[in-house]
């Protein structure tokens, strides 16, 4: 049973950019939104590498006040190992994101086709 919608970086960045399609989609989805710890790390990395890091950090901090942050625990780490064994050619970062979503019984909302082949992951690719 899906307990939450896990937002991928691709969705969050488009939301930050004011993408009307993503704003509409998120407004139509019922459920709790969450962001995995690796995604939060990636968001902060992008902010600090940008030309205006203070602005980026401010946007991220306001955003994460309104979503649940999923931390990586032992179950997610175990799931990562299983996924890496099954999908050795997949990007480790994507497998980490997938493992957190799977262990927390979430559905990933993404624009990234790289998640397509991970059968264990409940996902919606838009």
Distance CA 67, CA 125 (A): 20
Higher pLDDT, 30 or 15: 15
List of residues 6+ apart from 55 with CB closer than 8 A? none
Kindly state the tokens that stand for 98: 């997938």
Cα 3 to Cα 68: distance, rounded to the nearest angstrom:
12
How far apart are the C-alpha atoms of 104 and 18, rounded to whole Å?
28
Domain ranges of the chain: 4-125
The first and second tokens of residue 49, run together, are 């590498």
Mean pLDDT of 30-51: 94
Averaged pLDDT for residues 56-72: 94
Is the model's pLDDT at 29 over the cut of 90?
Answer: no
Second-level CATH architecture of 4-125:
3-Layer(aba) Sandwich (3.40)
Average pLDDT of the chain is 94
pLDDT of residue 71: 85
Between the alpha carbon of residue 9 and those of residues 14, 38, 83, 85, the distances in Å are 8, 10, 20, 24
Q: Is the pLDDT of residue 115 over 90?
A: yes
Q: What is the pLDDT of residue 3?
A: 78
Backbone angles phi, psi at 88, to 5 degrees: -65, -20
pLDDT at 31 over 80: no
- Give pTM, 2 decimals: 0.92
Question: CB of 89 within 8 A of CB of 19?
Answer: no
Q: What is the pLDDT of residue 13?
A: 97
């Amino acid at each position: 049973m899906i307990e939450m919608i896990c937002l991928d970086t691709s969705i969050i960045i488009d939301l930050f950019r004011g993408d009307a399609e993503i704003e509409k989609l998120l407004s139509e989805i019922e459920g709790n939104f969450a962001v995995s710890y690796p995604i939060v790390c990636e968001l902060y990395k992008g902010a600090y590498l940008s030309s205006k890091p203070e602005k980026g950090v401010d946007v991220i901090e306001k955003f994460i006040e309104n979503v649940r942050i999923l931390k990586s625990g032992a179950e997610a780490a175990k799931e990562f190992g299983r996924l890496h064994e099954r999908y050795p050619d997949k990007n480790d970062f994507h497998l980490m994101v997938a493992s957190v979503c799977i262990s927390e019984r979430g559905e990933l909302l993404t624009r990234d086709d790289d998640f397509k082949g991970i059968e264990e992951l409940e996902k919606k690719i838009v």
